[in-house]
Amino acid sequence: MPSPASPVAISIGGLEIRWYALFLVLGMVAGIALVWWLAGRRGMDTAFPLDVAPWVVLAGLIGARLYYVLLRADYFVNHPAEAINVRLGGMTIHGALAGGTLAFVWLCRQRGQRVFAWADLIAPGIALGQAIGRWGNWANQEAFGRPTDLPWGVAIDPPHRPVALTTATHFHPTFLYESLVDLLIAVVLAWLALRIPREPRWREGDVFWLYLISYGVVRFVIEQLRTDSLYIGPFPAALWVSAALVAIGVIGLVIRHTFRAAPPIGTGTEHPQPAHESGSA
């Protein structure tokens, strides 16, 4: 698997558009489009995800960068101006999940929308966005794994190789592994999201909890191959957070199925309103 010839996709005059940014934007657009499509199939207000998407995306981007900066605080304390330079990477999915989820919950409450009804539709969109966005790591030659002789190993240029592995040429494309599994997760969760209204055993929020569990497990496993992990204490930060995601997902499922009756599954609003009444957040 070859590396990109250049991280720059388009250069017009002094303006450079990098592959990393293009993959991130494409992932966001695809994820939002999937949520919009699922909302239409479920008979929910298709204007709502489009209205709140800019704010959720913005909060996700801020969370993604803030978490990365915090993990590398020792570096950014001495280089504060670089904290906002995201052209070469430095965005974390865990930070994006935290920031985007908080904004999403707040916006749902503000609009009188049922949080869990929409969470079930947003979960497949997140997984699809991740599947596409991961290719930004390929463009930046980052987030790869240990050296490998497998035919699908990715070629990494010397400047991007770990100091202890400068003689190795090909590495596990862990970004590809995660991308493929995320795509599978997106397909399965989208199918489940459409079945929920027809299956009385399901509860609103189940798809979201299953996303947390599945992605937490996938990331926990793949992180074992990574060579560029950021640490919290003796373990990579992603291991701590992935374990927390799995725990939250399991607890959420147990609570929704054991201690709390399922809410009626309908349009996703407590007080349905005509689509034209839904304004910008």
- pLDDT tens for 98-147 read 999 999 999 999 999 999 999 999 999 999 999 999 999 998 898 899 99
Query: Using CA of residue 129, residue 215, residue 245, residue 37, what is the dihedral sign?
Result: positive
Among the listed residues 108, 103, 12, the one whose alpha carbon sits nearest the alpha carbon of residue 60: 103
Contact 20, 87 (CB under 8 A): yes
Q: Is 177 helix (H, G, I), strand (E, B) or coil?
A: helix
User: Which range (13-27, 85-99, 141-155) has the least confidence?
Assistant: 85-99
User: Which range (55-59, 200-204, 259-263) has the least confidence?
Assistant: 259-263
- Mean pLDDT to the nearest integer, 188-210: 91
Q: Is the pLDDT of residue 150 over 70?
A: yes
pTM: predicted TM-score of the whole model, two decimal places: 0.86
For 188-208, b/e burial (b = at least 16 CB within 10 A) is bbbebbbebeeeeebbbbbbb
What pLDDT, on a 0 to 100 scale, did the predictor assign at position 279? 37
User: How far is residue 10's CA from residue 22's CA, in Å, rounded to a whole number?
Assistant: 10
What pLDDT, on a 0 to 100 scale, did the predictor assign at position 268? 44
Higher pLDDT, 252 or 15: 252
Among the listed residues 141, 152, 127, the one whose alpha carbon sits nearest the alpha carbon of residue 228: 141
